[in-house]
Amino acid sequence: MSSPNAPRLNLDGLDLAALLCSRVCHDVISPVGAIVNGLEVLEDDDDESMRTFALELIGKSARQASARLKFARIAFGAAGSAGASIDLADAESVAKGMFSDEKTKLAWSAPQALFPKNKVKLLLNLVMIATSAIPRGGLIDVTVSGDGEAPTLVLTAKGSHARIPPHVEELMAGSPESGTVDAHGILPFYAGLVARAAAMDVRFAIEGDEVTITASPTVIAAPTEAGDEASDTALA
């Protein structure tokens, strides 16, 4: 957790856009590079087995690049005009597409419904944070309950050497101890921005090889009696 005196970082809009672009490019450059390598093999190698391998590499890498771009479009993009909603089925589709060829499996339990876009964007960003909680792979179980206005999102990441990702809580709070954020930390920082925009609180817990991330509607504290009396005095 961040210390009480940690600076609160207000990132410039241009810097936020640049860091998010860096994150998307980082996720896509590997499969795109593999496609280029496969095409070079097709151009320069007449060996049939190598050409078959190259075609398989191109196909797999193209699917990975497409899945990551579809995910980024909803998780980081505008995803419609202001006030738009997103179908949770679409969120499930792009999330599962991200893990189709990975060591991490995704289980999804959510109603078939339209949810406010910021709550869906938060859910997808938390899926990625859950991935970093199990660096050796495993299972991420996503459960969405309640309606779109006051949902509860629970993500359970199970796997060997599970851990709450380093600095994730302070980054989501917008208060990194360093006072800065880079392309590596931009995802939890952005997730925190989305959580506040969606009026959702996010909590992390760990027990053994299981990390639980819970997002629920922000509770606004009721005025204390002392505060009420002070207000009454001020109005008298």
pLDDT at 44: 84
Q: Tens digit of pLDDT per residue, the chain (236 long)?
A: 444 444 478 888 899 999 999 999 999 999 999 999 999 998 887 888 888 999 999 999 999 999 999 999 999 987 554 558 899 999 999 999 988 767 899 999 999 999 999 999 999 999 999 999 999 999 999 999 999 889 999 999 999 999 999 999 999 999 988 888 988 899 999 999 999 999 999 999 999 999 999 999 998 765 555 555 544 544 44
pLDDT at 221: 62
pLDDT at 222: 59
> Does the reported pTM lie above 0.95?
no
pLDDT at 179: 85
Q: First and final CA of the chain: distance in angstroms?
A: 42
